[in-house]
Amino acid sequence: MSTSPARLVILSGVLGSALMLQGCLVGAVVGTAGAVVGGAAQVTGAVVGASVDAVTTSDEETRAKREREQREYEREQRRCEQRQRQGRDC
C-alpha cells in the first residue's frame, strides 16, 4: 500500500480546506446567533421601555390629573353650597 506524494498533497489540501470551511461555518453560526440574540435584546428593550412608560407618570399627566381633581372638588363644593342654601345637608 504505497501512497504517491501527489495523493498526500491532495489529501492534505482537502483536509485543510475542510478545516478552514469549518471555521467559516462556525463564524456564520456565531454571527447568526449574535444577530438573533441582538434582535431579541432589542425587542426585549422595547417591551421593557413600554412597560416603564405604562407604569410611570409624566409631569404632564400628573398636572392634568391634579387639575381634573381640582375641578371635581370645586364642582362638589358648588353643589354643597346649593344644598345648604336650600336647607339640606351636604
Residue ranges per structural domain of the chain: 1-56, 58-90
* pTM score: 0.38
- Report the candidate in 68, 71, 66 with the shortest Cα–Cα distance to residue 79: 71
Q: Is the pLDDT of residue 66 over 90?
A: yes
Confidence band (pLDDT; 50, 70, 90) for 56? Answer: confident
Confidence band (pLDDT; 50, 70, 90) for 46? Answer: low
Label residue 4 left, alpha or beta by phi (over 0 means left) and psi (-120 to 50 means alpha).
beta
Mean pLDDT value across the chain: 77
